[in-house]
């Protein structure tokens, strides 16, 4: 039982957990920004292709 308590105390004092969470949050924000940028570029490209197709007809 004492072994489990010492492991829990060591885990709570560890700095690795919060650092991993911070990196995960930063990664999630980067992914969201990338997806928004890709969607914006895709929408603009689609609009431009539709405009060109209309002019060709």
pTM of the model: 0.58
pLDDT tens track for 4-27: 888 777 877 776 667 778 889 999
* Coil/strand/helix, residue 15: coil
Ranges 5-9, 36-40, 43-47, 52-56: which has the least confidence: 5-9
- Average pLDDT of the chain? 87
Instruction: Sort residue 14 into left (φ over 0), alpha (ψ -120 to 50) or beta.
Output: beta
Assess contact for 11 and 17: CB atoms under 8 A.
yes
Q: What is the pLDDT of residue 17?
A: 67
| 50 pLDDT higher than 80 | yes
Classify residue 10 by its DSSP letter. H
Sign of dihedral through CA atoms 21, 25, 26, 28? positive
């Amino acid at each position: 039982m004492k072994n489990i308590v010492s492991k829990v105390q060591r885990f709570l004092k560890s700095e690795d957990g919060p650092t991993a969470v911070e990196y995960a949050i930063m990664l999630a924000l980067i992914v969201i920004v990338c997806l928004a940028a890709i969607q914006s570029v895709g929408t603009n490209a689609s609009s431009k292709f539709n405009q060109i197709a209309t002019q060709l007809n």
